[in-house]
Amino acid sequence: MNYHDRQLDALGDPTRRAILARLIQGPLPVGELSAHFDVSRPAISQHLRVLKHARLVTDTAVGTRRVYAIDPDGFEQLRSYFDQFWGLALEKFKSRVERKKDDD
């Protein structure tokens, strides 16, 4: 499984998307992060493992805690993946518009 597959799979879960939305506001340790959710701390830790494996978050040791943050490199890879589809879609749209203009 490549990183894009892992990233898309990770984003398929609403709790993981909510975790990412919270981390956009800034890095947090798992304990503080779990306070924002109605699921257990171990469940949040499992979601964070999936997000880390998908390269969507990073973790850093700060004393005895792990602090999680958005992984900008992982999101850049994801953006590049989606950009290829946008480029193709825009080319098709341009072609269709130009064809319609020629038909008029």
CB 59 within 8 A of CB 48: yes
Residues 6+ apart with CB under 8 A from 65: 29, 30, 31
pLDDT for res 84 = 81
pLDDT for res 98 = 75
pLDDT for res 1 = 66
d(CA 103, CA 86): 26
pLDDT for res 90 = 76
Whole-model pTM: value is 0.80
Q: Which domain holds residue 59?
A: 3-103
Number of domain units in the chain = 1
The CATH number of residue 18's host domain is: 1.10.10.10
pLDDT for res 103 = 73
- Consecutive sets of 10 residues in the chain, 104 residues long: mean pLDDT of each? 85 96 96 92 96 96 94 92 79 76 70
